[in-house]
A = this chain, B = another copy of it.
């Protein structure tokens, strides 16, 4: 087994990962799991990339709403659009929790109803190229945790099937997951607008509809959508917040050796220090002896060079 986890310090957490992977890949060993069942599921926001000070997709949507008002000024009279144009973060603050962010994402997605899937992809790809993280000054696609990206590589190297299971928009994450994480579009699970199949000038187009596909991909929805998209439980889960607990419970109930990794944002110097929306997850992880990754202690390097 080649150790690809070069950006991690040699802590008990790193040893837990190495030992787990050795155990499930050792043929004829008591914990062996065949490759087709080596499912790994990772949350995205706060687990693979930085979600502070404001989740990236929320930033993308604010800019999208602002653009929409430029094209159609009447929209500026609606509270959501007005708050976006004014970058009035106080208006958005009440929604910034695991419990309420689905409401906000729902409103924003509905504001985008009527757009074709291709229009959405072109507009959002362009945004990803020009937007910069307010603190780090780089494109968001570079504010990714290098030790976690190495872990994805390490798992694939050991015949794991790696999936992203994000509360964010499925087609948003798909626009960059392949390039920055090596995760192909079909391995990205997320929240979705409903789609319709329509004909324009004789050619079919997918059109984004008001209304979300049920269930929203957070909390129990993450487990249900793993079943729908993958068809079996994960044996390794990476997450950072309360909404990731059910998929960790899904791994724990798999009947196989499993590993649940909870990132603790405890590094104010290099990233952020917060337990917001992670209170329950940290408590559960301690009670059940899941593995807590201290970003401050375990990460030797935070972001790619």
Contact = CB atoms under 8 A, between A and B. Distances in A.
Interface of A: 36, 117, 161, 163, 170-171, 174, 178, 184-188, 192, 194-197, 203-206, 213-214, 220, 223-224, 227-232, 246, 249-250, 253
Nearest to A185: B231
A197 B222 CA distance: 10
Contacts of A178: 36
Contact of A224 (B36, B171, B195, B253): B195
Given A170-B228, A185-B230, A185-B231, A223 B246 contact: no
Contacts of A206: 223-224, 227
Given A223-B197, A231-B171, A231-B174, A204 B249 contact: yes
Contacts of A195: 224, 227-228
Copies in the complex: 2
A185 B230 CA distance: 6
Contact of A227 (B117, B161, B253): B117
Contact of A246 (B161, B194, B197, B224): B197
A253 B204 contact: yes
A192 B204 CA distance: 24
Contacts of A223: 197, 204, 206
Contact of A188 (B205, B227, B231, B250): B231
Contact of A36 (B184, B188, B230): B184
Nearest to A161: B186
A90 B88 CA distance: 65
Closest 9 pairs between A and B when the two form their complex, measured CB to CB: A185-B231, A197-B220, A186-B230, A174-B231, A195-B224, A204-B249, A203-B253, A197-B223, A204-B253
Q: By CB atoms of chain B within 10 A, which of A161, A195, A214, A228 has the most?
A: A228
A186 B220 contact: no
